[in-house]
Structure 1
Amino acid sequence: MTEQPTRMVVVGASLAGLNAARALRDQGHAGPITLIGEEPHAPYDRPPLSKGFLVSGADHTSLALADTAVLGLTELYGRRAVHLDTGERTVHLDDGGTVPYDGLVIATGAGARSWPGPLPATGVHTLRTLDDATALRRDLGTGPRRVLVAGGGFIGSEAAATGAELGHDVTLAIRGPAPLHQVLGEDAASFLSDLHHTAGVSVRPFTTLTGLQGGRRVTSVTLDGAHHVNADTVLLALGAVPHTDWLTASGLRLDAGLVTDAHTRAVGTDGRPHPTVVAAGDVTRFPHPHASGLLSLGHWSNAVEQARIAARTLLHPRAPSVYRPVASFWSTQYGVRFRAVGLPREADEAITREYDIGRRRLDVAYYRGGRLVGALTANRAAHIARYREQLARDLETPVEARSA
C-alpha cells in the first residue's frame, strides 16, 4: 500500500468514529473521508444519556459533538454496514450499496444486551442510544413511576440515581453484592450503595431478573424466578454487546469484540495485523501492560485517544504509534463526582485511604502484585491527578525494568 492511503472510510458515527475522522484531518489527510453511521443522527455525546439528558428538557442538539461540515466528510447516516470484504477493500451496506476504501477505521461501538424473552409493548427500555434516552425520558416525565432497573453497572447505577432524583420509586436489582462491585471492589461499591440507600433507592443484591409481566404496558417483574415486584417502567441495563456481527465473514479475529494489536491494527484470524484496517472505541479488545488479557474499555477517553492513534497508524503504517493509555472514566451520582484512572478491575488488592460517606469523599488505590494499576476517588480530584501521574510513569518504564 502507499504511505498515504487516499480513500478513508470510518464505520461508526460514534465518538470514536468522529474523532478518527477529525484526527485524520488534523494529521494531514486531505483526501476523501466517508463516515457511515447506523443511527439517523450525526455523532453525539453519550455519557449524558443516563444522567443530565434524562432530567433536562433539552433536545438532541445539546448533545452534538461538533460541526462535521468543517471536516469535509461524506456523511452516510441511517445506513448500516452488513459485511466487510478486506480482500476487495469494500464495505457493504444494508441498502445494497458499497463503499470502497484504502484505509478503514472500525468504530461501530457496542449495543445494549437484549432481553431473551417476550416483552410487554411499552414501558421496557434499554439505554445506549439517543432514541433510547428520549423514550425513557418521555416515560419518566409522565408522572411518578415505579421504576425497576436491572443491572448495577455504570448505566444502571446512574439511571437509578437519576430516577430517584426525579422523585420516582426506584428498585435497583443487581447480580452482585453491590453496584459496580466487580469493577471497583468492596469499599467503593459499599460507598455507592450507601448513596443509593440514602436517596431512597431499594437495592436488591444477588438478584436476577427472570420475567417481565404485562400486556400493553409492563406491570411487574419477576426476580429469581419467584419474587414479584410491581413496576411500570423497567430499564434493562444488562451489559453491552460489541457491534461485530457485520464482521463475521471478514477474516478478522473476533473475541468478545474486534481484536487489535498494540498499534490499533485489526488482527486477522491468521494472527497477523491487517495493514489497512484499524479500530477504536467500545468495539475493540487490545493488549495493555496492566491487563492480564485483552482489554476492552467502554470509556469516553478511550474512544478519543484510541481514535487518534488509529488515524496515525493508517497514515503512517511503517511507523505506527503504540496505544498504551492511562484509562480514565468518571460518573456523577447524587452530586458526587467519581473519577477513576487505570484498571481497578485488574487489581488483586484494594487499599482504601479515605472513606467518608458523611462528607461524600472516597479514595481507593488498586494494586496487582504490589504495583499500582488503578485508583478511584469521590470528590477528590487533586488525588486522582497524582495517581494518573504515577500510572503514566509506570507505563513509560521499559517492560524489563517494570518486571525486575
Structure 2
Amino acid sequence: MRSITVVGASLGGLASARALREQGFDGRIHIVGDEVHRPYDRPPLSKQFLSGSNESIALETGHDAALDIEWHLGSAAVALDCTRRSVTMASGQELVSDAVVLATGASALSLPGARGVAGVHTLRTLDDALALRESLVPGVRVVIVGAGFVGSEVASTAVEIGAEVSVIESTNAPLQRVLGAHVGRIVAGLHDRGGAKLLTGAAVRGFVTSAGRVTGVELHDGRIIGADVVLLGIGSQPNVGWLVGSGVEVADGVVTDRRGATSVPSVVAVGDCSTVRDPLTGLLTRDEHWTAAANRPAVAMKTLLSGGTSTETFSTVPYVWSDQYRTRIQFAGEQGPDCRIEIVEGDPTAGPLVAVYRRSGSPVAVLALSSPRSFGQWRRQLCGASRDVGASR
C-alpha cells in the first residue's frame, strides 16, 4: 500500500493521518476537505471562540508538519469509485489511491422556511461561528431551537455576552435522548439558574419575518417568541450523499463494524459520518462526539493497514462532555428507559452531583455535574466492566 486518500479535513481526518504515520505507513497521504480551512477544533465554536475569549482553535501542532500530508482543500468530494479507489472532487480533480478513509463528518439540520432568512443560523463550521458571533451583542434577543449540547452551550455563551436568551425544546427536558428524562429535568435547572428562559414541550411552526429578516419564532400553540437572532440546534445529518452508487453501505451514515471496516475492502470510515453496527443485535449507532472522532481512527487505521485482519475494536463506553453556565457536564456509557438512576453524590437541585445509571443492578452509565474526580472513578469502573464483558464473549 503506497497511497491513501482521507476524505474529510477535520478532527477525524487529521487523527487518521496521525495514526497512519504512528503505525508505520510511509506512503502518500492525501486529505480532501470541502472547507478552505485547515483542521480546527469544533467544540469551542459554541463556547470560547463564539464569545471571543479564545481564538485558538487550530488542531494541528508543530509536530504535524512531519506527517507530510498532501492537502486538497476548498473542494468537496463528489464521487467514490470503489473499484479504482478513486475520489473525484467538485473541482474535477481525481485522486486514485490504494485505500480510502471516509471522514466527511456531518451537516447541521435546518427547518422549513429558514433558508434565506437573515438572522437564522446553524452552527457547524468556522464560518457559521463567525457569522453567529457577529450578531451576538448585549441586549440582542436570541432564540435557540433545540436544547441539545450545541444549543445549550450557545445559550450559555449568549447569556454571558449579555443577550436575552430563550431556548425552545420539543421534548420535556433538555438532552433527554442522551441523559434520560429524569436527569434532563435536573439539567434544565442550569438554564433557569443561568439566566435563559427554557420552554419545553414546544414545537416550532415557523418564523416571523420583516423585510427578509427574522423577528420572531412561531410555536405550534400560536405563541410568538420575539427574536433578532435564531440558532437552529436540532441535530445533524451525516455527509454521505456523495456516496450514492459507490457500493459502500449507507444507513444514517457509512455502516461499519466495530473496527471501522465498511462493506468495501480497503475503505474504512470514522467520525460523525459513520454508524457502527452492533455485532450481537445488529443495531446501528452513530456516535457524534469529539472523543469518538479523536480516538477511533487509531483502530480503523489498524484495520486498514492490516488488510482487514486486525481484531482490535472501538471502546464500547461512549464519553461526552459539555460546558454550560460554568458547569462541566460529563457523561459516559449508554442509558435507556430500563435504567434505574441513583444520585450517589451531591445535590440535584443546585449541583454539583454524580448520578449512576444501573441496569439489573450493574452500573452502565454515569453523569457528573462539576464533579470530575468522582466521575473519573466511576468511568474507570465502566471501562473495566466493558473489557470484562468483551473478554467473555
TM-score (structure 2 length as normaliser): 0.93
- Answer whether contact 1:290 1:373 (CA < 8 A) is retained: no
The answer to whether the 8 A contact 2:114-2:120 is kept is no
Task: Report the counterpart of residue 58 of structure 2 in structure 1.
Answer: 64
Give the letter aligned to residue 387 of structure 2.
E
Cα 1:118–1:55 change in 2 (3 A) is closer
**Which position in structure 2 is the counterpart of 1:239?**
235
Where does residue 312 of structure 1 map in the other structure? 302
Question: Structure 1 residue 191 and structure 2 residue 191: aligned?
Answer: no
**How far apart are residue 289 of structure 1 and its match?**
7.7
Q: Runs of 5+ in structure 1 lacking a partner?
A: 268-273
SS in 2 for 1:353: strand
For the pair 1:275 / 2:265, whether they are aligned, the reply is yes
Cα deviation, residue 41, structure 1? 0.3
Check whether the contact 2:180–2:337 (CA below 8 A) recurs between aligned residues.
Answer: no
1:371 aligned residue: 362
**Number of the residue aligned with 2:128:** 132
Partner of 1:83: 79
Inter-partner Cα distance in structure 1 for 2:277 and 2:245: 23
Residue identity (%): 38
| Structural mapping, 1:244-259, within 5 Å | 244-259=240-255
8 Å CA contact retained: 2:103, 2:272: yes
Give the Cα separation in 2 of the matches to 1:225 and 1:140.
28
1:346–1:373 Cα contact (<8 Å) kept: no
CA contact (8 A) 1:149 1:156 kept: yes
Q: How far is the alpha carbon of 1:399 from its aligned partner?
A: 5.2
Q: Which moved more, 1:191-200 or 1:252-261?
A: 191-200
User: How many aligned residue pairs are there?
Assistant: 389
Greater Cα shift, 356-365 or 100-109:
356-365
User: Which stretches of structure 1, 4 residues or more, deviate above 4 A after TM superposition?
Assistant: 288-292, 398-402
Deviating more after overlay: 64-73 vs 95-104: 64-73
Deviations 1:90-130 (A, max 9, x none): 11111111111211110111110122225454211001111
Q: Which moved more, 1:310-319 or 1:116-125?
A: 116-125
Equivalent residue, structure 2, for 1:265? 261
Matched, 1:208 2:208: no
Deviations 1:265-321 (A, max 9, x none): 012xxxxxx220011111111135898822211111111111111111111123342
**Does the residue aligned with 1:282 lie in a helix, a strand or coil?**
helix
* Match for residue 385 of structure 1 among 366, 370, 376: 376
Secondary structure at the counterpart of residue 84 of structure 1: strand
The 1:289/1:339 distance shift into structure 2, 3 A limit, reads farther
Quick one: structure 1 residues 290 and 379, their matched pair in 2 at CA, closer, same or farther if it must change by over 3 Å? farther
CA contact (8 A) 1:120 1:213 kept: no
Counterparts of 1:372 and 1:101, CA distance in 2: 45
- Map of 1:145 onto structure 2: 140
Q: What CA distance in whole angstroms lies between the structure 2 residues aligned with 1:71 and 1:44?
A: 17
Whether contact under 8 Å (1:347, 1:366) holds in the other structure is no
- The SS at the match of 1:189 is helix
Any residues of structure 2 matched to 1:290-301 within 5 Å, and which? 293-301=283-291
Post-superposition shift, 1:394? 2.0
Residue 6 of structure 1 is matched in structure 2 by 2
Contact 1:337 1:378 in 2 (8 A): yes
Deviates more, 1:22-31 or 1:180-189: 180-189
* Aligned-pair CA distance for 1:324: 2.9
Q: In structure 2, the residue corresponding to 1:30 is in which secondary structure?
A: coil
Partner Cα separation in structure 2 for residue 63 and residue 185 of structure 1: 31
Which of 134, 151, 154 aligns to 2:149? It is: 154
Q: 1:390 and 1:291 mapped to 2: Cα distance? A: 24
Q: Provide Cα deviations, 1:23-78, integer angstroms capped at 9, x if missing partner.
A: 1011111110001111110000001111111112544xx10001443210100111
Contact 1:148 1:234 (8 Å CA) reproduced: yes
Partners in 1 of 2:18 and 2:198 — Cα distance? 42
Q: Among 209, 219, 238, which residue is 1:223 paired with?
A: 219
Kindly state the Cα deviation for residue 353 of structure 1 after the two structures are TM-superposed. Answer: 1.9
Moved more, 346-355 or 143-152: 346-355
Which 10-residue stretch deviates more, 373-382 or 237-246? 373-382
- Choose from 161, 165, 171 the match for 1:170: 165
Tell me how large the CA RMSD over aligned residues is.
Answer: 2.0
Which structure 2 segments of 5+ residues have no match?
A: none
**1:372 Cα shift?**
2.4
For residues 153 and 28 of structure 1, the distance between their equivalents in structure 2, rounded to whole angstroms, comes to 40
Helix, strand or coil for the counterpart of 1:364?
Answer: strand
CA drift at 1:367:
2.7
For 2:204, give the aligned amino acid. Answer: L
The equivalent of 2:327 in structure 1 is: 336
Moved more, 19-28 or 160-169: 160-169
